[in-house]
Copies of this chain bind each other. A is one copy, B any other.
């Protein structure tokens, strides 16, 4: 009887240790995607994870090769009516002009200072580049990090009156967590500034700085007056991580082809093509913003309005159909868009 009574005690203790040790895989057995409605999009994600991670599957992928790439603006958080980073840059213009008053009467700074939204909406790509160069460079990487940190923890989106980081899509956070729980390394692959996104990516997405691929500017190593080494951000673009730049950036920063890629616009087309050109099971998904009530509706695919930025043209929808990419309907596939929804 000694043995009989001692084993259950021991068994319970062992079970507890085992449960603690195995808590991550255990999680995968409940619904890993609770904010998703049942449907082809959710199913595509679950099927992909099973095909690539269950031992013995014909399409099993060794853990070291499990890479998933997520575009950011419009894919993991709200990008309308303006990218958060562009808002950041515009809001910094008065500070830049304070330091260099001679810019006050020079375009495009003059227009930005006027606060005339109609005139600002007409700024060209070239104007915007001048503003980005003036507001994102000429300071050390540490100063830049501190400034973005301050802004991102206080600035609010005008529609929801919430921090931009509160406007991340809960369903995409669940996909990231689900992939990571199954041995995937998750990367942000954004047209936005690499250093900008790195400031909050770990806290918001659980993605460390070294897994943020974005538009990259050069830095210059030098020394402060104290002799302390510093890196200064230069107005020199090394790689524009958008469109064809996305697979180029992925090769540069990761050196492996992703198995899964998530986007929402023409800027993501090449990344999805590149991902899909690999062998075995691959998952390519595009978020379609077709929910004007809970978020925004824009295309112009499927007759949705053309909002000019972050567009999802009909040609992209056609390519998706032809290549077996899955289009995620925010309206139909997402039970909940934001974590703060009741």
Q: Is the CB of B10 within 8 A of A21?
A: no
**Contact residues in B for A273 (Cβ distance below 8 Å):** 229
- Inter-chain CA distance A231–B251, complex, in Å, is 8
**Contact residues in B for A239 (Cβ distance below 8 Å):** 218, 238
A205-229 vs B: 1/0 string, CB under 8 Å?
0001110100010111110000011
Interface-located stretch among A93-101, A253-261, A289-297: A253-261
Q: Which of A53-86 contact B (CB under 8 A)?
A: 64, 67
A4-38 vs B: 1/0 string, CB under 8 Å?
01110110011001100100000000000000000
- 14 further A-B pairs in the complex, CB-CB below 8 A; given A13-B14, A218-B248, A229-B277: A1-B2, A2-B2, A5-B6, A9-B10, A17-B18, A194-B255, A195-B255, A209-B254, A210-B210, A219-B248, A219-B252, A221-B244, A231-B274, A253-B253
Q: Is the CB of B277 within 8 A of A228?
A: yes
Residues of A within 8 A of B (CB-CB), count: 49
Q: Is the CB of A220 within 8 A of B244?
A: yes
**Contact residues in B for A247 (Cβ distance below 8 Å):** 221, 229, 231
**Contact residues in B for A216 (Cβ distance below 8 Å):** 252
Q: Indicate whether A46 reaches chain B with its CB closer than 8 angstroms.
A: no
Copies per complex of this chain: 2
**Contact residues in B for A5 (Cβ distance below 8 Å):** 2, 6
Q: Is the CB of A255 within 8 A of B219?
A: no
- Inter-chain CA distance A30–B220, complex, in Å, is 43
A320-342 vs B: 1/0 string, CB under 8 Å?
00000000000000000000000
Q: Indicate whether A202 reaches chain B with its CB closer than 8 angstroms.
A: yes
Given A13-B14, A195-B255; A208-B64 close (CB under 8 Å): yes
Closest Cβ neighbor of A231 among chain B residues: B251
Q: Is the CB of A255 within 8 A of B2?
A: no
A181-198 vs B: 1/0 string, CB under 8 Å?
000010000000011001
B202, B222, B253: the one contacting A210 at CB < 8 Å is B253
B21, B210, B270: the one contacting A254 at CB < 8 Å is B210
- Inter-chain CA distance A320–B273, complex, in Å, is 49
**Contact residues in B for A152 (Cβ distance below 8 Å):** none
Q: Indicate whether A141 reaches chain B with its CB closer than 8 angstroms.
A: yes
**Contact residues in B for A209 (Cβ distance below 8 Å):** 254-256
- Inter-chain CA distance A198–B64, complex, in Å, is 14
- Inter-chain CA distance A37–B251, complex, in Å, is 40
Chain B nearest CB, measured from A315 CB (Å): 16
Q: Is the CB of B6 within 8 A of A274?
A: no
- Inter-chain CA distance A13–B15, complex, in Å, is 11
Q: Is the CB of A274 within 8 A of B21?
A: no
Q: Which of A242-276 contact B (CB under 8 A)?
A: 244-245, 247-248, 251-256, 270, 273-274
Chain B nearest CB, measured from A164 CB (Å): 20
- Inter-chain CA distance A9–B4, complex, in Å, is 12
Q: Is the CB of B6 within 8 A of A270?
A: no
**Contact residues in B for A255 (Cβ distance below 8 Å):** 194-195, 198, 209-210, 212
Closest Cβ neighbor of A239 among chain B residues: B238
B18, B194, B253, B270: the one contacting A221 at CB < 8 Å is B270
**Contact residues in B for A208 (Cβ distance below 8 Å):** 64, 256
**Contact residues in B for A202 (Cβ distance below 8 Å):** 64
